[in-house]
Amino acid sequence: MSATTISYLNSLLDYYTPSSTYFDKARRHRASIETRLDNRLGVSEMFETGSLRHGTGVWFYSDVDYIASLKGARPTPTTALSNVRDALKDRFPNTTIRVSRPAVVCEFASGDETVEVVPAFAAPSGGFWIPNPADTAEWMKSHPKDHNSWVNKSNEKHSGAAKKLARLAKTWKYRRNVPVSSCYLEMRAAKYAGEQSSWILPMDLFYFLRNLKNVGLAAMNDPTGLGSRFTACSSTSNRDDALSKLDTAVSRAQKAYDAYMDGDDATAIAQWKLVFSQ
């Protein structure tokens, strides 16, 4: 039996959904990381965040992400990142450890067990200050726990459409090497899915990509009303690159949509395969 457009997209989702145990090896490093940071810098709390925590991780590409809320006075973002990097380099001398704002990336097992640690400082009014990816001199306000709850709430509509859409958008990002924030894509996807009165995956995936193009990957207000705006890219050059690749994706998605509406699943699938570099 020939594949349908919907079955193809669902198979793509199944393929890139990590198993419940896939990242267990990376998570094993948490205790030693937290202990080292606590001994060197002081840790108020450390918790998992990001796409794996939200249920939007992409197999093979997503890392394990932690927020490390540090004690003491808040220095510059660059100093905080350097302090975390240097503390972990001393503890894990045979591991590649580097700064990739807003996190310190630890490439355990030659990158097969990658962990990202975001230095943070608790804000008196709630949430955390984390390094701003788009401005090396600034902190940005983040409420990761509230954002997780908001995504979960949006995901209640249409049988989990928000997280499916976020995972497909991130799959496109990774497969096409698009320099756009995964968090931005996730929040945009959750906002889009939560606003729809109906849902058909091949149609809404196209509409969502087109919406990203129409807004020009503009910064997005925090939908919880608590934190800083979500920016799509860390630099102007990255934004230009991302918009160019988005334009190509939307053009192919338009052809996939038109073919789907005409009942031509073979052509629709061929176009989606181009979108996802398959």
Q: Domain ranges for the chain, please list them.
A: 5-18+147-275, 24-142
Q: What is the DSSP letter of 224?
A: T
The runs of H, that is alpha helices, within the chain are 5-16, 24-27, 30-40, 50-54, 77-91, 144-154, 161-175, 182-195, 201-214, 236-261, 265-275
Please state the rounded mean pLDDT for residues 43-61: 86
| C-beta atoms surrounding 124 within 10 Å | 5
pLDDT of residue 115: 94
Q: What per-residue confidence (pLDDT) applies to 214?
A: 97
Q: How confident is the model at residue 1 (pLDDT cuts 50, 70, 90)?
A: low
pLDDT tens-digit readout, 101-140: 899 999 999 988 999 999 999 999 889 999 998 888 899 9
Is 1.10.10.10 the CATH number for 24-142? Answer: no
> For the residues of 150-170, what is the DSSP string, one character each?
HHHHHTTGGGTHHHHHHHHHH
Band of residue 147 on the pLDDT scale cut at 50, 70, 90:
confident
| Angstrom distance (rounded) from CA 260 to CA 276 | 17
Which backbone phi and psi does 117 adopt, to 5 degrees?
Answer: -120, 120
Neighbours of 121 (CB within 10 A): 18
> Is 59 within 8 Å of 122 (Cβ atoms)?
no
* Average of per-residue pLDDT across 198-207: 97
* Residue-wise pLDDT tens digits, 256-265: 999 999 999 9
Q: Rounded to whole angstroms, how far apart are CA atoms 3 and 1? A: 7
